[in-house]
Amino acid sequence: MKIVCFGDSLTRGISYVKGRLRIIKENYPNSLAKLTESLPFVEVLNKGVFNDNSDLLVSRFEKDVMSENPDIVLIEVGGNDCNFHWAEVAKDPEGHHEPIVPIERYLDNITQLVKQVQDKHVTPFLLTLPPLDPARYYRSLADKFGHSIGHFVSHVGGIEHWHGMYNRQLKKLAEELKVPLIDVRSYIKTSGDLEHLISDDGIHLTSEGYQQMSLAIFSDLKKHMTGKMPSQSSFDCKHSSW
């Protein structure tokens, strides 16, 4: 059974460490791979790309996902969709600014990805947006773009407002499409002090945070995979090109 983890920097494994964004080994796909060692014939692939949004996932879907001939696709995206072009906001904090990928297009993109996966008789799982720490995120933005963004933030409800809105709409869409959704957001929120689970930029996770994310995913996946593992002969036939 091949699992493709498809998403943005939270799938890639980005964390803010010692003042810099870095790729850490303790990302959720790596942690998930270790957890699935107890299950036979499972391979986990990391197809996360830094700074991706749902538009970009759609554009690289065939190349990065379906070419791998997966059995399960975990789709994690949204944090960059509901974000803003902060350099533009800083120049005109009183102007009108739209999220990078407006909510309607975001939902259309997710729907397209799900249907493309299902058309190939592959099982899609949607992941909710992991939690963020608005205070630390705003501080990191202000350090980079200046404090003028505070005026804009105060008028549009802040990134937490948009982040929560996209997450709620994603959950609603999962119900409409009858697609399994793994609520990593709630799981991480109840797993401990968010100060230790979210890195200092306020939006990426720490190694502990990614571990909790992988535990949430594994718990749901295990229910799906139990009793659905391929036989040795069918597994060897399907993956004879490895």
Here the tokens at position 12 are 């890639």
Residue matched to tokens 């791998």: 68
Whether residue 241 lies inside any domain: the answer is no
Residue 177 pLDDT > 60: yes
Whether residue 153 lies inside any domain: the answer is yes
The pLDDT score that the predictor gives to residue 223 is 83
Whether residue 237 lies inside any domain: the answer is no
Residue 66 pLDDT > 90: yes
Residue 111's DSSP bridge partners are none
The pLDDT score that the predictor gives to residue 233 is 39
Whether residue 99 lies inside any domain: the answer is yes
Domains identified in the chain, total number: 1
d(CA 237, CA 242): 10
Residue 227 pLDDT > 60: no
Whether residue 230 lies inside any domain: the answer is no
Whether residue 160 lies inside any domain: the answer is yes
Whether residue 8 lies inside any domain: the answer is yes
pLDDT tens digit sequence for 135-155: 999 999 999 999 999 889 888
Grouping H, G, I as helix, E, B as strand and the rest as coil, residue 107 is helix
Q: What CATH number has the domain bearing residue 143?
A: 3.40.50.1110
State the residue range of the domain holding 112.
2-223
User: Going by DSSP bridges, is the β-strand pair 123-127/181-182 parallel, antiparallel, or unpaired?
Assistant: parallel
d(CA 226, CA 130): 26
Residue 180 pLDDT > 60: yes
